[in-house]
Structure 1
Amino acid sequence: MDNRTNLDDYLAGLGISGADESAPLPPAPEVAAPASPALEAAHEDPRAVLERFLKGLTSRIDPGLTVTVREGEDALEAEIAGENAARLAGRDGRTLGAIEVIAYTVLAKQAGRSDLRVRVDVGGFRRRQADTLSRLAERLAVQVAKSGEPHELQPMPAADRRVIHIALKEHPDVMTESVGEGSARRLIIKPRHG
């Protein structure tokens, strides 16, 4: 058996064509490029590309899962639902994060859209996590407002920091700031005045 053929067949089944890793990524949308058959596939509808990839992936994991993709304000948002969908999030959402990274890569390669963000939720995991972070942000805001002392949170992913930034954006007594680099980037909640 030819492993390359099996890999190509598997990737094609996931909605990923052209498994040749040495193929260059298509140019960014702003860059004019001559039309060619190889680039026409790069201009596929991003929503269709993401939906095809996620349906291919989930059908192999659990055929009972469903995928819905919609265009949000600043990202393509996908919801994977089904009886066992929440298990797909993995420990602390790590599997879900990996799915998002792969989905973004597929979108960049197949649709030529590396400018689009991708958010995937499974079984409401992200929604519940955002609610928990928003409640935490409110509790910490009260604490910081009362004490007048800033509170520094542990390093967290950008998506989690964003939830807290948004939750406290209009708070009259506190403001937020991200500090640090890479995986050590963390958020500080500090008094707005003083």
Structure 2
Amino acid sequence: MDVVETEGENIDAAIDHALRLLGVPRDRVTIDILNEGRKGILGFGAQKAKVRAALRRASAEPRNAGSAGFSLPARATEDAPAVPEAADFAAVGEKARAVLEEILRHMGVTATVERRDAPASAEIVLEIKTAESGLVIGRKGQTLEALQYLVGRIASERQSNDGPHIVIDIENYRERRRKSLEDMALRLGEKAKRQRKTISVDALSAADRRIIHAVLQDDPWVTTRSLGQGSYRRLLIIPEGDRRTKEEIKTGAEEVSPARPQRRGAPSRGAPKPAKRDG
């Protein structure tokens, strides 16, 4: 037996297992890391580390080719899996449902979860049925968004966006939230144009900001910008007449619309006022 593949709780444990099977010290083998492994959450999503150990031969490369007989494979440590087939799609959906039920149980929420697959749109929708919807949704949907992100990461077990998208909903909250944001965007857009002042909206998730951007993108009299750092940035609704705000954010801003021509006879912003006459 010249080559073995072994698993362990971490890379060192997997290597030790391989050395025991081969009956040689570490400097007599080359090691390829097949999977670095990762810890799970609530028992889900855990992966063991996996390595391939091969005995060195007399014609093998000198030891300085690697570090103490340790070499990384030329390819990436984990190849991204292909888009799942129908069976894989269903398997991911069922795992997502089980993960969500387990998390809700740890939250102390009595609930059932219904799964609905939508392969055409590459979505798996998990509908939560519970009398404690307010607790599950959280302030401005923050808890629901966190659940969706966490379940999606655990269930799909992938870093890329090739797999199905997990959507978690409760009492049609997603649709109600979208409609509320669309109405708010139109209302604030009209207010910004009427007052000719920039309106700032704080603490919006990326998904919420995208809805407002989409609603106002075809309005030639306003421009929207996202500013700040972190998950919850400010969103600005800038009327065409507010050139000062545009200049302040022009550096690094996205999709700056051309400013409207200034009205004839209107004083330019920041222009010096005429001096008062004595007497």
TM-score class, shorter: 0.5 to 0.7
Please list every run of 5 or more consecutive structure 2 residues that lacks an aligned counterpart in the other structure.
Answer: 1-8, 10-39, 51-75, 241-258, 261-279
Does 2:79 align with 1:27? yes
Cα drift, residue 29 of structure 1: 4.8
Cα drift, residue 21 of structure 1: 6.1
Give 2:161's match in structure 1, choosing from 91, 115, 126. Answer: 115
Q: What corresponds to 2:175 in structure 1?
A: 127
Structure with the greater relative contact order (CA < 8 A, sep ≥ 6): 1 or 2? 1
Whole-angstrom CA distance in 1 between matches of 2:84 and 2:78: 9
What SS class does the counterpart of residue 153 from structure 1 fall into? strand
Instruction: Deviation per CA, 1:59-78: give whole Å up to 9, x if none.
Output: 554464312232475x6251
Within a 5 Å distance, the mapping from 1:1-194 to structure 2 comes to 11=43, 16=44, 19-20=46-47, 22=49, 26-29=78-81, 47-60=89-102, 61=105, 62=110, 64-71=112-119, 76-84=123-131, 86-87=133-134, 88-109=136-157, 112=158, 114-116=160-162, 117-192=165-240, 193-194=259-260
Whole-angstrom CA distance in 1 between matches of 2:124 and 2:202: 27
The 1:168/1:115 distance shift into structure 2, 3 A limit, reads same
Whole-angstrom CA distance in 2 between matches of 1:158 and 1:54: 23
More helix by share: 1
Aligned residues: 169
- Amino acid across the alignment from 1:20: Q
- Amino acid across the alignment from 1:175: T
Whole-angstrom CA distance in 1 between matches of 2:238 and 2:84: 45
Q: Runs (4+) of structure 1 moved beyond 6 Å?
A: none
| Alpha carbons 1:108, 1:114 under 8 Å: kept | no
Whole-angstrom CA distance in 2 between matches of 1:57 and 1:85: 18
Q: What corresponds to 2:254 in structure 1?
A: none
User: Could you say what the CA RMSD is over the residues aligned between the two structures, in angstroms?
Assistant: 3.5
- Amino acid across the alignment from 1:86: S
Cα drift, residue 137 of structure 1: 0.6
- Amino acid across the alignment from 2:182: S
| Alpha carbons 1:104, 1:114 under 8 Å: kept | no
Cα drift, residue 49 of structure 1: 4.1
What SS class does the counterpart of residue 183 from structure 1 fall into? coil
Q: Normalising by the residue count of structure 1, what TM-score does the alignment of the two structures yield?
A: 0.67
- Amino acid across the alignment from 1:114: S
Instruction: Deviation per CA, 1:3-36: give whole Å up to 9, x if none.
Output: x9xxx9x74xxxx56x236569842358xxxxxx
More strand by share: 2
Instruction: Deviation per CA, 1:87-146: give whole Å up to 9, x if none.
Output: 43234323212221222212441xx46215543222211221111111111110001111
Whole-angstrom CA distance in 2 between matches of 1:43 and 1:108: 10
Whole-angstrom CA distance in 1 between matches of 2:91 and 2:152: 10
Q: Normalising by the residue count of structure 2, what TM-score does the alignment of the two structures yield?
A: 0.49
The 1:21/1:124 distance shift into structure 2, 3 A limit, reads farther
